[in-house]
């Protein structure tokens, strides 16, 4: 293998790792309002864990990277749908602490024919701290 081939291979590996292991976690900093970008794609949310403070205004900027997805956080009455490439914003003030499930509320397909696994594993969490 030539040095150019090795460098190209390393750059490819770094690029793939950056995509796969991208920002999977968001923790708010102490400030008046947080704007958090949330990407949905089959079959995950990125980040898949969001930590915010109780009583702090939060805006979720939500988009889909591939197909129509939903954003459902029952504990805070959030129930939105977004089409690929479009953005929606949801602003709320968490009034209780705990760990709350983030789900896709739109059937977004499955990775294996007739398995039903893909959509059902699309989960994230919203952690609200004091």
Least confident of 29-38, 39-48, 73-82, 92-101: 29-38
The answer to whether residue 114 is domain-embedded is yes
The answer to whether residue 99 is domain-embedded is yes
Number of folded domains that form the chain: 1
CATH of the domain at 107: 2.60.40.420
Two tokens at 122? Answer: 């699309």
Q: Which phi and psi (to 5°) does residue 98 adopt?
A: 140, -175
CA distances from 65 to 42, 57, 62, 116 (A): 8, 26, 10, 20
pLDDT digits (tens, 9 = 90+) for 44-63: 899 999 999 999 999 999 99
The answer to whether residue 13 is domain-embedded is no
Q: Domain range holding 123? A: 24-129
Q: Which residues pair with 129 in a beta bridge?
A: 53
Q: What band does 106 get if pLDDT is binned at 50, 70 and 90? A: confident
Two tokens at 47? Answer: 């980040």
The answer to whether residue 105 is domain-embedded is yes
The answer to whether residue 18 is domain-embedded is no
- Compute the distance between CA of residue 58 and CA of residue 10 in angstroms, rounded to an integer: 39
The answer to whether residue 16 is domain-embedded is no
């Amino acid at each position: 293998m030539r040095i150019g081939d090795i460098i190209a291979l390393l750059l490819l590996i770094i690029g793939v790792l950056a995509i796969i292991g991208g920002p999977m976690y968001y923790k708010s900093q102490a400030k008046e309002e947080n704007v958090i970008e949330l990407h949905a794609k089959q079959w995950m949310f990125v980040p898949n864990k969001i930590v915010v403070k109780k009583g702090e205004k939060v805006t979720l900027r939500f988009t889909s990277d591939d197909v129509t997805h939903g954003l459902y956080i029952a504990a805070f009455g959030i129930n939105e749908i977004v089409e690929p490439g479009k953005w929606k914003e949801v602003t709320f003030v968490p009034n209780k602490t705990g760990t709350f499930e983030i789900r896709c509320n739109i059937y977004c397909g499955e990775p294996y024919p007739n398995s039903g696994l893909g959509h059902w594993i699309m989960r994230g969490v919203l952690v609200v701290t004091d």
